[in-house]
Chains A and B, each alone.
Chain A
Amino acid sequence: MTVKLLAEFVDGETLRSALVRVRSTGHAALDAFTPYPIEGLDERLGQERPRIRLAMLVGGLASAAFAYGLQWYSAVIDYPINSGGRPLNSWQVFLLVPFEVGIFAAALAGVLAFLWSCRLPRLHDALFEIPGFERATQDRYFLLTASEISPNDLRAVLTGAGAVAVTELRSP
């Protein structure tokens, strides 16, 4: 049975070295919770690169194309009007609206992709039950680890690496 342990550290450096030790002793490091973004932590945890930018590109281009299509349809097909002899499909100025709309749509797609890939919004999480975890957003650094075979050994590794508290995470 897999046992999940959450270790609390007082600073990011200790957490980083603890992560290395957990890895080298054959246990799994699942995630880290820190009050500010620590460079490179996600790579050390072996997390895959997200594809938020792709979603933004697709969302932005699709919306821009839609906006252009709408202008083209209304100005050329549905409501052609001769405005000072300009061509019906005045594509040069028709690019302005798609640009503005496209950027907003890209941002919106990015936010949605971000929420989706982080599983947000989340009403509750098992970690919120753990006393002291509220300091993860203030001044404490947490490492979530898991062990298949020897949870006691993992606990010893974490304590040895400088954890001030190690709590077992009970799955609901």
Chain B
Amino acid sequence: MSEVLAAKAPPAHRWISSERADDLAITQAVADPLFTGFGKRWWLALLVTLPFVLWLFIAVVWLFYRGIGIWGVNSTIVWGVAIANYVWWIGIGNAGTLISAMLLLTRQRWRASINRFAEAMTLFAVAIAGLMPIIHLGRPLYAYWLAPYPNTMALWPQWRSALVWDFWAIVSYLLFSILFWYVSLIPDLATMRDRTPHRAGQLLYGAFALGWRGSAREWTRLKILHTTMAALGVPLVCSVHSIVGLDFAASLMPGWQESIFPPYFVVGAMYSGFAMVVVLAATIRWGLSLQAIITSRHFDVMARILLMASIVMFYSYATEWFMGWYGGEHAEREVVRFEFTGTYAPLYWALLACNCLIPQLLWWPFARRSLLMLIPIAIAINIGMWLERILIVWNTLSRGYMPSLWRAFHFTFWDWSFLIAPLGLFAFLFLVFMRLVPSVSMFDMRKLAHEEAAA
């Protein structure tokens, strides 16, 4: 537990569980660990993630050398783990911006504690997501053909293709997220510049702080820019995952032509993303001893959002089943039957348990406030959401219109590699982020503390 900012039970204020949290205490609690280092725990964690980073690197090199035949994909099930990963990671990525932007616009002041690392989560998750389609391309060296540029072949991208929309959605979203994150980071970088005892830190933080002085003029402009970006970010996030949904909805395969996919994908993204934020918030809270700033109330409200999203997801699944039956098409009904009883049925039941059943525990307040309950639920949701993404791919492709083409997907070692190793890369990037950048927005916390009369 942080020495300067000791948590108190019961919480003294609504969103800060410490009797007094003045400007200096907040600054110290968040910034000072970055100067002293996190000690052994951090290095150990970094050491654990390194083999995964190496593993991913080897897997990518081997994939580029041998081609996508090293996976379990075949001529019927042409999409596999890479595509499910893509949808899953970008879903996690969406939540960071969505949380930050939507909570900013709705004036949910508690976002101050979680927005910074939620946005960092977005950056890393979207970057990993962006790798997946390229990895999946088969001929990744031609990935740049997606971009329109004057070329000797006199070719242009096919603008009517959902995959070209994907490219623009990911690139725009990644760049937007970087800007959105950086803009709200500038004042904190200035704090770091002014507080660091090291010359190198002064130069580095100073360069990125751009000469910020915290003048009224700068604050006004920053606020206008940030809220306007947030207002633009919400439709952007929704459109990005809708476009991902269109990869499936704008097709002719049974089960892949449902107009509910775009909103259903957006809710799914928010769902898995919030679950990931819960896990990361618990990690940061423990790792940086920020119990006073990230309180059990924060987990309580996040759990409520998870519960709501779980209900909406269940509704979406039910709509999918209903439309499959109501449409009357034999192939559509066959896909729904196959979901419940076919090759992947155990996974499908696990999906329903993880996404719809287990989160119902969150109706009880003790489950929302106890991290021992909440973290396993959040992990279950993330597993469930990944299963959902892979099953959307597998079920439809395994049961197309042509029964002679019905086949199954079999996991290979390299499928597992691309499923597990990116998690290590994500953890690695996140650890580096925690070490270099304040994980909690200090100026937002100071403002919150003043509003809560804790300062």
Residues of chain A touching chain B, judged by Cβ–Cβ distance below 8 Å, are 12, 31-38, 41-42, 45, 47, 50, 52-53, 56, 60, 70-71, 74-75, 78-79, 81, 83, 86, 90, 93-94, 96-97, 99-101, 103-104, 106-108, 110-111, 113-115, 117-118, 120-125, 127-128, 134-139
Contacts and interface: CB of A to CB of B under 8 A. Distances in A.
A86 B158 CA distance: 12
B225 A100 contact: no
* Chain A at the B interface: SS class: helix
A114 B221 contact: yes
Given A97-B168, A137-B195, A139-B27, 18 more contacts: A34-B219, A36-B444, A37-B219, A42-B217, A79-B154, A90-B160, A93-B159, A96-B168, A96-B239, A100-B172, A100-B240, A108-B175, A121-B210, A122-B210, A136-B213, A137-B190, A137-B213, A139-B23
A90 to B, nearest CB: 5
A100 B158 CA distance: 17
Given A74-B156, A138-B23, A100 B236 contact: yes
Contacts of A111: 179, 183, 225
B221 A94 contact: no
Given A107-B180, A117-B221, A138-B194, A100 B173 contact: yes
B111 interface: no
Contacts of B223: 37
A74 B191 contact: no
Given A93-B160, A103-B236, A125 B213 contact: yes
A37 B447 contact: yes
Contact of A96 (B22, B165, B173, B214): B165
Contacts of A124: 211
Contacts of B152: none
B453 to A, nearest CB: 12
Interface string B281-298: 000000000000000000
Interface stretch (B12-20, B70-78, B137-145, B227-235): B227-235
A47 B215 CA distance: 11
Contact of B217 (A118, A134, A138): A118
A33 B450 CA distance: 16
A122 B55 CA distance: 43
B168 to A, nearest CB: 5
A37 B221 contact: no
Given A86-B160, A93-B160, A47 B211 contact: no
B24 interface: yes
B169 interface: yes
Contacts of A121: 210-211
Interface of B: 22-24, 27, 148, 154-160, 164-165, 168-169, 171-173, 175-176, 179-180, 183, 187, 190-191, 193-195, 210-225, 228-229, 232-233, 235-236, 239-240, 243, 443-444, 446-447, 450
A16 to B, nearest CB: 11
Among B23, B195, B233, chain A packs the most CB atoms within 10 A around the CB of B23
9 contacts: A12-B450, A31-B216, A37-B222, A79-B156, A100-B168, A100-B172, A124-B211, A136-B194, A137-B193
A142 B403 CA distance: 76
A71 B175 CA distance: 21
> Which are the 8 A-B pairs with shortest beta-carbon distances?
A122-B211, A139-B23, A134-B194, A74-B156, A121-B210, A37-B219, A36-B446, A100-B172
Given A31-B216, A104-B172, A114-B222, A138 B191 contact: yes
Among B187, B218, B222, B447, chain A packs the most CB atoms within 10 A around the CB of B218
A123 B212 CA distance: 10
A36 B23 contact: yes
A135 B24 CA distance: 9
Nearest to A57: B228
A45 to B, nearest CB: 5
A35 B446 contact: yes
B159 A52 contact: no
Contact of B443 (A36, A42, A108): A36
Given A111-B225, A136-B214, A138-B195, A106 B232 contact: yes
A50 B223 CA distance: 11
Nearest to A96: B165
A56 B216 contact: no
A8 to B, nearest CB: 13
A90 B157 CA distance: 14
B23 A35 contact: yes
A141 B175 CA distance: 34
Contacts of B216: 31-34, 38, 41-42, 45, 47
Contact of A100 (B156, B169, B195, B219): B169
Nearest to A143: B216
B108 to A, nearest CB: 17
Contact of A36 (B211, B228, B450): B450
A126 to B, nearest CB: 11
A35 B443 contact: yes
Contact of A81 (B158, B239, B446): B158
Contacts of B220: 37, 42, 47, 50
A128 B22 CA distance: 24
